[in-house]
Structure 1
């Protein structure tokens, strides 16, 4: 069997920035075990397989694998795959088109915008609205991050576990400078958070004029650190809007991957009506890097 693949850098307008992604076509007969092996071979944060849909409203079905396991939903594979499908003519044509991708979490609406002279831009709307899990132990969180408990928290925000399809421990820091001081203890995280509702860590701090900065650590997914994490950014947008003091649309520009030398820019937003979050969106650009074929037994 010969499979076609493309690689992209997602959440960036520049090659060799953002979060690398592999997109594989022609794998409808592959087993989950085979897909996992291919994902380990690419060894990127995620590899996505574009398949025939099973839902009538979906344009394509996608399955998403980290080097360690399959995910029901992830942001940079969704954004990157949507941009690539539009670029290859495998999505409705137009400068501003919308369609649905079928993922493990359910149908995920996406919107792709093509501006002449710029890389493709896609925005997803989450299939699952924010859900809170048990509050994590602040001391344990600080220990695995190599920080002091007093360095965690920002105003009324404290570490909390939130999911928009994939659970994360959202960890606010008192100052953006502390992001560079994080010294993540992967073994300690596996020991202290084994069996926890959320065991991946999205550490963030507020910058200037609403800007956010973040880092993500997920050894449970086989990812030491991720340059850009749309599912975590969605959880953060949902949490911040849930905890806001007003209804309306809340939006932020989020920078991730800076400490890794792969700067990424994510545009996140959430709508709140009657005190409840009604929608969460994550968007960003993608740059096509390479394409090719390989054989899969």
Structure 2
């Protein structure tokens, strides 16, 4: 059997930046085991398999696999797949096109707005299907620091303390006091499991307010060895949960708030995620994730 596939770089407007994504088309005939094998072969943070939607009014049903397991939801596969389907199914009219792509994911239907322009990289934005909620506790900062190769005094800044949030996937959010410490952070395999594995955490998201670019509000890194992803260049699902962190610590007034997150620089894959929070009556009402994506390769997969 031959299946067509594309790869894209997501959360970037430049090829060979951002987070690479593989998308396999017409995958209805593949078993979950075959999908997992193919995802392991691509060996990217995530591989998407497009199958026929349950609701014919929707654009597609998608299954999302890391090299290690299937996920109910992920951000960069949502953005990249929506942009790809819009490009393939919605030709430009007078050099532009706006489209709504509805993706059936295990977490539920996700509506994605896509903006296509002849003179710019495509952009997509979606409302998170679930708002972030606190989920569990983390050990003392001495153990967290040991697992990350940092000093305890480098964990935390201002009023920010380590937290766990979930929005379909659970992440540990670790504030780090500056870019120098962020650059030294690394997985300490000897202490990682005792610090993070018992909590069923998908990944560990480090962040600081010190940034490389003035337009950015936060600089981030994300480690997910349990998913087969030692480090991720851009993590939309973790950015959804991070909205809970920002809401909890930054005392946002009612209204719309945009925060640009830079990620992937330590890997040589610069990425930019647009996080939008809408606060109403003192509570987080909407979380929106946006970013660009560019196509890189296409081909045929023999299975």
Calculate the TM-score normalised by the size of structure 2: 0.93
Alignment correspondent of 1:174: 177
Q: What do residues 114-167 of structure 1 show as CA deviations (whole Å, max 9, x unaligned)?
A: 122111111121111011112211222111111112111121111100112111
1:150 to 146, 149, 153: 153
Mapped partners of 1:69, 1:288: distance in 2: 25
Cα 1:210/1:27, change in 2 over 3 Å: closer
Secondary structure of 1:88's aligned partner = helix
Alignment correspondent of 1:223: 229
Mapped partners of 1:55, 1:129: distance in 2: 24
Alignment correspondent of 1:248: 255
Alignment correspondent of 1:291: 298
Alignment correspondent of 2:201: 198
Is residue 141 of structure 2 the alignment partner of residue 134 of structure 1? no
**Contact in 2 for aligned 1:48/1:64 (Cα 8 Å):** yes
1:279 to 274, 278, 286: 286
Cα 1:239/1:39, change in 2 over 3 Å: same
Aligned residues: 296
Secondary structure of 2:89's aligned partner = coil
Mapped partners of 1:70, 1:108: distance in 2: 17
Where structure 1 has 5 or more consecutive residues not aligned to the other structure, the ranges are: none
1:235 to 241, 253, 259: 241
Secondary structure of 2:192's aligned partner = helix
Mapped partners of 1:91, 1:164: distance in 2: 34
Alignment correspondent of 2:79: 79
Mapped partners of 2:294, 2:202: distance in 1: 30
Cα 1:90/1:220, change in 2 over 3 Å: farther
Secondary structure of 1:119's aligned partner = strand
Cα 1:45/1:210, change in 2 over 3 Å: closer
Where structure 2 has 5 or more consecutive residues not aligned to the other structure, the ranges are: none
Cα 1:243/1:107, change in 2 over 3 Å: farther
Alignment correspondent of 1:115: 117
Q: What do residues 212-259 of structure 1 show as CA deviations (whole Å, max 9, x unaligned)?
A: 110000001000101111101111123212443222222111110000
Alignment correspondent of 2:277: 270
**Contact in 2 for aligned 1:86/1:92 (Cα 8 Å):** no
**Contact in 1 for aligned 2:17/2:271 (Cα 8 Å):** yes
User: How much does 1:96 deviate?
Assistant: 2.1
User: How much does 1:188 deviate?
Assistant: 2.4
User: How much does 1:57 deviate?
Assistant: 5.2
Alignment correspondent of 1:105: 107
**Contact in 2 for aligned 1:189/1:199 (Cα 8 Å):** no
Calculate the TM-score normalised by the size of structure 1: 0.94
Mapped partners of 2:54, 2:101: distance in 1: 15
**Contact in 1 for aligned 2:215/2:260 (Cα 8 Å):** no
